[in-house]
Amino acid sequence: MKFTTTLFAVLAAVAPTASSLPSDPSARQNKIATCAAETCLTTTNGQFNGCATNDLVCLCKLEQAEVSRYVSVVQPCIDGDAGHKACTAGGIYTYKDVLKNVCDTEEFGYKKAIFPEVPTTV
């Protein structure tokens, strides 16, 4: 009897927590800081070809020409004032590096997301 009571108490305690977890697997994915990339996409509500700037899978599924175009469109915001207000230099590096590494896999056809070096002023 004591075991049954304990079991019900545990289930009653866990049930509300389990039911509050997101049912959509994509909602449980880690989100990456986009370092204000979306500010360059104001005419499309922060989206690029239907992809949010933090949805690297969606971005890397695009054709190579579109991946390259995405980089050229968002780089001014990431490397500009908006990006530096939103992220540290490490955060900016991380966004670019993770996008580059995700796209450059067999799953996405070894696409290149190359951010040209931005000259620094001293």
Q: pLDDT by residue (tens digit) across 82-119? A: 999 999 999 999 999 999 999 999 999 999 999 998 77
Q: What range defines the domain where residue 64 resides?
A: 31-122
Structure token pair of residue 116: 């040209």
Percent of the chain residues topping a pLDDT of 90: 69
- Does pTM surpass 0.85? no
Contact 82, 75 (CB under 8 A): no
Contact 57, 102 (CB under 8 A): yes
- pLDDT top residue among 23 and 107: 107
Residue 5 in any domain: the answer is no
Structure token pair of residue 100: 């580059």
Contact 114, 101 (CB under 8 A): no
Number of domains in the chain: 1
Task: Tell whether the model's pLDDT for residue 31 goes beyond 90.
Answer: no
Residue 26 in any domain: the answer is no
Residue 81 in any domain: the answer is yes
Residue 25 in any domain: the answer is no
Structure token pair of residue 98: 């993770």
Residue 43 in any domain: the answer is yes
Contact 38, 53 (CB under 8 A): yes
